[in-house]
Amino acid sequence: MTTQTTADHLTPAQHGVAGDLTPAQHGVADHLTPAQHGVWITERTRPAGSGYHLAVTVRFTGALDVDRLRDAVTAVVARHPVLAAAVDDDLPALVPASDPVTLAVRPGHPDEVAALVAAPFDLGRGPLARFTLLHTGPAEHLLCVVAHHLVFDGTSKQVLVADLAAAYNGTILSTADAAPTQPADHTHRKITFSDVLVSGSRAETRRRFCSQWTRPRFRCRSMSRR
């Protein structure tokens, strides 16, 4: 089986928004960082549409163990519970979402990726990440992961892909800072996530923000003038 990974909907990573997907303690509110707070204020005052939606797609060719991939998704979310978060507007802070993150599996077509990326997130209910596996043809699958920029950025993409591949291949992912446990049985066919392509398709995001934000309409006198 061959795989190809792309991240062609990623916007520039803003330091301090998602970091390296550091695992958080379950059930405990995690107050927003200054960068996350800025994203949250923008979403609450001037909704950005899909401007803060980041996506990674993985194309599988050949035999795919869907149950093993589903278990891998569960393991990755357990390692990075921020993916299963929502936003408590009263604090504001990241809290556990009302519903768990699951792998949705259905027949589909690659053209549906744009709609999957554009689908809105309910920040108050969560979760802030979703995993969809499209069966696109005989022995052909496309995994689309979409996460909100409140919990995800360009650096997070690399962590997610590496952990997802490791979990699928049988590595037991640690939820602490310990090294992952390697599987004792390597008889199943491994997958590798190669040919990573990151490009900047940001026209829609730029158009939306430019249409909503304008320069201040006032002049400021120089303090040196009398």
CATH number of the domain to which 36 belongs: 3.30.559.10
218 located within any domain: no
Cα 76 to chain center, whole Å?
12
For residue 36, the enclosing domain spans: 2-212
- How are strands ordered across the β-sheet holding 53-61? 103-107, 129-137, 140-148, 53-61, 2-7, 197-198
226 located within any domain: no
Give the tens place of pLDDT for each residue, 27-74.
Answer: 556 889 999 999 999 999 987 889 999 999 999 999 999 999 999 999
At which residue do the structure tokens 């390296």 appear? 20
**Cβ-contact 161, 168 below 8 angstroms:** no
70 located within any domain: yes
**Cβ-contact 51, 14 below 8 angstroms:** no
Would the pLDDT of 220 be above 80? no
52 located within any domain: yes
**Cβ-contact 149, 39 below 8 angstroms:** yes
Query: For the chain, what is the domain count?
Result: 1
Phi, psi torsion values for 58, nearest 5 degrees: -130, 120
Residue 91: predicted pLDDT = 87
135 located within any domain: yes
- For a pLDDT cut of 70, what percent of the chain falls above it? 64
pTM greater than 0.75 = no
d(CA 208, CA 48): 7
94 located within any domain: yes
